């Protein structure tokens, strides 16, 4: 499938395989047409709406206003604030997930007592839907309901206002994302680790390597492509954090945890400013494009290497 | 043989007749109505009664209920796009101008004189006037009220008694005066909503502080829509709101949603709350409440302009592009009738009734007149309804976004990222810019 995609992208110079790609494309045409209708057309329509004044709260009929909505965005402090928040929510959880995922995988790879149960505990968050995850953490973060600050208090730590302090609210969202997706990263690392031949570790032991040295000089270098692969994959996925924000902070306090797409949602669905919301979403598309396309290219190149 | 044929023919001839007889008994046989809203107490109480209506009319009613904020968003998009998926929808009175101007709902008064209408069943004059007004726009009645909401002060009698305070605060000054006597880290004095979303958010409570100081949203609504949300009265209102919450509220109160407020009072973890009177059913729920029997009820405190409790009505409307207008109206007529409303109020915790006669009904009073020595609940409810300004939420199509901007400003001041003055100045600028963009201001 991957080679087919690569071929379809015109990477191959071989005339025979080109002809084969065309034949494949013929069969894929209906699906591609459907995808175009379901993705490209709505995007074009959003672009069109972003140049209109359409708002259900306005007494005026909608009209073409060119780039006015985009000009407004440049003056909109709430929108400008949502850009670094989006970048933070893309970058920070991924770094922590990779770090913790690796540690989790190393632990799960060891033959320790009760490891079967421990593995079950490690991967449990993976099966919890984002909405349930969000509700659970919101309760934990709410002082009079949740136990987080209570347990911090037992350790002598005065817990912060997770949902009321703008900086800690950002940390709160990142923590949920880390908690929710680290098991996936860990499992991925574990699968690759278990394919590393034992002989390499045995040779290390013969040479006098300690456990830490084995991890550092054998496991880590062999996992480097996996780090890159999962890192890119998680970056692509990271903007799917929307339901967590919606449930845990609802973008607050005072819009501190609003990402670009969340602000687009508020503008369109709460405020009914369809044209303005469309402009926000178009900017979001551009952001995604700038981040995801290079990431996808890298991802495909990794897949091709492993193919 | 001939006899058999004649018998069969006679039977065949009788079939349509019996069918017609069934039609007149169940005139809406085969009609399916689609209903959309959120599980407001009235709706939750209505659902178990619907099979009786279906049995009587032949109609089938399909309910689609979402969480409140999501239901408002979905309803508005569905109605604006003319998707035609719903026949009857619920509405919060703050959205009435939007629904009316958009032509999304059929004026309910258009049905009053229809051949199929039952004026006695509806008894239109029995509805509480302010709730009817809240669901009218431009002199036209669009929807019918099922829910009359206001805000009241709930307070713990034992804590007041221990502090030697004999009566609840009537003004914000009094509230701040008694606060040090009532507040402690273990038992904070007051919980109020903090999260900004428009439908169930902080503006529902803040607007009472705002109107209570004599502030208004516009220079002269509806003739002059120049926003005035940064007036000295408004700044004083926000300063009071922030002072009360930050100094005498529980930890995390700036992010409280209404559920947090209800739970705090229900579990007795605060001395008082100001929130919806219809929530008394939950706060005093016999199986869950730790304060039942220990609460007083009063009209909330006021500022320079006196107490201005919140006011909102919820109603039912017939969707304009529904192809089943007659059936939809018959359903609304039955759902809003005195008998149905009374049964809902007696068989469920729905106290926010919108019929005058029900407020005086002996069975209703017997069920809801909680009085534990700190004042009658029904009296506090009715006094608050009378004191509540009809424009608690200004009747303005652009209200949802103004409410959103103000909700953010209130929370910004509360968590300290801006002073009350700066937050309201910024909000005033944003509202001005928005009204200019939308064509409300030159």
- What is the structure's pLDDT at B5? 54
Per-residue tokens: A280 = 């926000």
pLDDT at A147 over 90: no
What is the tens place of the pLDDT at every residue in B37-78?
Answer: 999 999 999 999 999 999 999 999 999 999 888 898 889 888
Same domain, yes or no, for A103 and A232? Answer: yes
Would you state the pLDDT for residue B4?
57
> Into how many domains does chain A fold?
2
Q: Do B252 and A165 touch (CB under 8 A)?
A: no
* Beta strands, E only, B173-271: 190-191, 218-220, 224-227
* C-alpha span between B420 and B429 (Å, rounded): 14
| B345, HSE (Cβ side, Cα atoms, 13 Å) | 29
Plot region of B164 (φ>0 → left; ψ -120 to 50 → alpha; else → beta): left
A148/A293 same-domain check: yes
Residue-level pLDDT at A304: 61
Q: In chain B, which residues have pLDDT < 70?
A: 1-24, 197-200
How confident is the model over A222-274, as pLDDT tens digits?
Answer: 888 888 888 887 887 777 788 999 999 999 899 999 999 999 999 998 888 99
Residue A122 has pLDDT above 50, yes or no: yes
Q: Do A144 and B197 touch (CB under 8 A)?
A: no
A117 and A255 inside one domain: yes
Spatial contact of B339 and B132, defined as CB atoms under 8 Å apart: no
Other C-beta atoms lying within 10 Å of the C-beta of residue B106: 19
What does DSSP say about strands B32-37 and B88-92: parallel, antiparallel, or unpaired? parallel
Rounded to whole angstroms, the Cα distance separating A96 from B334 reads 58
My answer on whether A289 and A142 are in the same domain is yes
Average pLDDT over residues A7-35: 72
Residues A62 and A7 grouped into a single domain: no
Supply the angle between the helices B399-415 and B420-438 in degrees, to the nearest 10. 160
The predicted structure's pLDDT at residue A124: 85
Query: What is the predicted pLDDT for the residue at B18?
Result: 40
Distance CA A244, CA A88 (A): 15
**Interior CA angle at B194 toward A75 and A125, to 5°?**
90
Position A10 confidence tier, pLDDT thresholds 50, 70, 90 = very low
- Nearest by CB to B408, which of A162, A164, A255? A255
A175 shares its domain with A223: yes
List the structure tokens of B45.
């109480």
CA distance A145 to B132: 39
Asked whether residue A78 falls in the same domain as residue A211, the answer is: yes
Q: Which residues contact B111 (CB under 8 A, 6 or more apart)?
A: B117, B318, B325, B329, B333
Over the range B52-84, which residues count as b (16 or more CB within 10 Å of their CB) and which as e? ebbeebbbbbeeebeebbebbbbbbebbbeeee
Asked if A273 lies within 8 A of B252 by C-beta distance, the reply is no
Give B231-255 pLDDT, tens digit per residue: 999 999 999 999 999 999 998 899 8
The verdict on A210 and A249 lying in the same domain is yes
* pLDDT computed for residue B167 by the predictor: 92
Q: Is the dihedral angle over the CA atoms B220, B201, B280, B174 positive or is it negative?
A: negative
Pinpoint the alpha helices (H) of chain A. 2-8, 15-35, 41-49, 68-75, 77-108, 115-123, 130-141, 148-154, 166-193, 198-206, 211-214, 220-238, 242-248, 260-265, 274-306
pLDDT tens figures, A189-233: 998 888 888 888 889 888 888 888 888 888 888 888 888 888 887
Confidence band for A5, pLDDT divided at 50, 70 and 90 = very low
How far, in Å, are A55, A56, A83, B64, B83 from residue A271 at the CA level? 8, 8, 20, 23, 19
Here the ipTM equals 0.81
- Please state the length of chain A: 307
pLDDT at residue number A37 = 86
What is the band of A13 on the pLDDT scale with cuts at 50, 70, 90? low
Q: What is the pLDDT of residue B8?
A: 53
Nearest CA in chain A to B74: A269
Query: How many angstroms separate the CA of residue B411 from the nearest CA in chain A?
Result: 6
Same domain? A76 vs A215: yes
CB spacing of A164 vs B254 below 8 angstroms: yes
Q: Report chain A's mean pLDDT, rounded to a whole number.
A: 86
Q: Are residues A31 and A56 in the same domain?
A: no
pLDDT for the residue A8 = 44
In chain B the domains, ranked by start, together with CATH numbers, are 30-148+312-365 (3.40.190.10), 151-309+383-438 (3.40.190.10)
The residues, any chain, with a CB within 8 Å of residue A203's CB and separated by 6 or more, are none
Pull the structure tokens for residue A238.
């990271």
Residues A8 and A85 in one domain: no
pLDDT of residue B2: 55
Residue A32, pLDDT score: 85
- Residues A166 and A268 reside in one and the same domain: yes
The CATH number linked to A302 is 1.10.3720.10
Contact across the interface for B404 and A164, Cβ inside 8 Å: no
To test the contact with chain A by mutation, choose from B69, B191, B252, B438 the residue with the greatest count of A C-beta atoms within 10 A, namely: B252
Rounded Cα gap, residues A127 and A270, in angstroms:
31
B52 CB-side CA count, 13 A: 9
Closest-CA residue of A relative to B268 is A144
User: Which residue range is the domain that position A239 belongs to?
Assistant: 52-306
- Per-residue model confidence (pLDDT) at position B427: 97
């Amino acid at each position: 499938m991957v080679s087919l995609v690569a071929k379809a992208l015109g990477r191959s110079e071989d005339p025979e395989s080109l002809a084969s790609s065309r034949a494949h494309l013929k069969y894929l045409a209906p699906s591609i047409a459907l995808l175009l209708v379901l993705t490209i057309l709505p995007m074009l329509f959003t672009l069109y709406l972003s140049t209109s004044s359409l708002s259900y709260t306005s007494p005026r009929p909608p009209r073409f206003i060119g780039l006015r909505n985009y000009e407004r965005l440049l003056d909109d402090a709430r929108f400008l604030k949502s850009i670094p928040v989006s970048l933070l929510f893309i970058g920070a959880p991924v770094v922590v997930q990779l770090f913790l995922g690796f540690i989790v995988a190393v632990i799960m790879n060891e033959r320790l007592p009760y490891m079967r149960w421990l593995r079950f505990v490690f991967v449990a968050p993976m099966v919890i839907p984002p909405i349930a995850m969000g509700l659970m953490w919101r309760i934990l973060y709410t002082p009079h309901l949740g136990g987080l600050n209570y347990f911090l208090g037992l350790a002598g730590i005065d817990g912060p206002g997770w949902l009321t302090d703008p900086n800690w609210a950002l940390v709160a969202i990142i923590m949920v994302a880390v908690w929710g997706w680290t098991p996936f990263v860990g499992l991925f690392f574990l699968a690759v680790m278990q394919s590393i031949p034992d002989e390499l570790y045995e040779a290390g032991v013969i040479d006098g390597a300690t456990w830490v040295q084995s991890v550092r000089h054998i496991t880590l270098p062999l996992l480097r492509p996996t780090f890159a692969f999962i890192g890119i994959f998680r970056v692509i996925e990271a903007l799917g954090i929307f339901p967590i924000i919606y449930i845990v902070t609802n973008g607050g306090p005072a819009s501190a945890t609003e990402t670009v797409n969340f602000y687009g949602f508020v503008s369109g669905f709460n405020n009914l400013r369809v044209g303005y919301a469309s402009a926000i979403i178009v900017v979001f598309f551009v952001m995604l494009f700038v981040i995801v396309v290079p990431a996808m290219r890298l991802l495909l190149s990794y897949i091709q290497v492993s193919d | 043989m001939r006899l058999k044929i004649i018998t069969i023919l006679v039977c065949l001839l009788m079939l349509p007749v019996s069918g017609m007889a069934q039609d007149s008994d169940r005139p809406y046989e085969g009609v399916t109505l689609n209903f959309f809203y959120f599980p407001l107490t009235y709706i939750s109480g209505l659902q178990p009664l619907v099979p009786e209506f279906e049995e009587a009319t032949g109609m089938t009613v399909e309910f689609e209920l979402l969480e409140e904020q999501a239901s408002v968003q979905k309803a508005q998009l569905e109605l604006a796009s003319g998707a035609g998926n719903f026949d009857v929808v619920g509405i919060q009175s703050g959205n009435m101008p939007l629904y009316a101007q958009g032509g999304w709902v059929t004026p309910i008064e258009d049905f009053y004189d229809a051949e199929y209408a039952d004026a006695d069943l509806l008894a239109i004059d029995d509805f509480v006037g302010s709730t009817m007004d809240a669901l009218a726009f431009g002199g036209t009645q669009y929807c019918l009220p099922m829910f009359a909401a206001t805000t009241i002060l709930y307070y713990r009698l034992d804590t007041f008694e221990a502090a030697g305070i004999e009566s609840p605060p009537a003004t914000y000054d009094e509230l701040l005066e008694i606060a040090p006597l009532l507040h402690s880290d273990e038992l904070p004095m007051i919980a109020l909503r903090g999260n900004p979303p428009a439908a169930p958010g902080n503006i529902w409570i803040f607007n009472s502080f705002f109107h209570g100081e004599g502030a208004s949203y516009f220079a002269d609504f509806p003739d002059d829509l120049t926003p005035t949300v940064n007036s000295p009265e408004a700044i004083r209102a926000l300063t009071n709101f922030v002072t009360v919450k930050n100094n005498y509220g529980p930890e995390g109160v700036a992010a409280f949603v209404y559920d947090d407020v209800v739970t705090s009072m229900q579990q007795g973890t605060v001395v008082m709350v100001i929130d919806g009177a219809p929530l008394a059913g939950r706060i005093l729920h016999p199986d869950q409440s730790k304060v039942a029997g220990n609460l007083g009820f009063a009209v909330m405190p006021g500022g320079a302009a006196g107490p201005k409790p919140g006011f909102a009505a919820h109603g039912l409307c017939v969707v304009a592009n529904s192809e089943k207008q007659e059936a939809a109206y018959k359903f609304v007529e039955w759902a809003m009738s005195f008998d149905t409303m009374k049964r809902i109020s007696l068989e469920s915790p729905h106290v926010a009734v919108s019929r005058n006669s029900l407020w005086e009904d002996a069975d209703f009073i017997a069920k809801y007149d909680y009085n534990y020595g700190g004042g009658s609940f029904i009296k506090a409810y009715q006094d608050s309804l009378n004191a509540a300004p009809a424009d608690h939420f200004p009747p303005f199509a652009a209200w949802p976004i103004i409410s959103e901007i103000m909700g953010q400003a209130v929370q910004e001041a509360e968590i300290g990222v801006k002073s009350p003055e700066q937050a309201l100045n910024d909000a005033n600028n944003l509202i001005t810019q928005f009204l200019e963009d939308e064509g409300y201001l030159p």
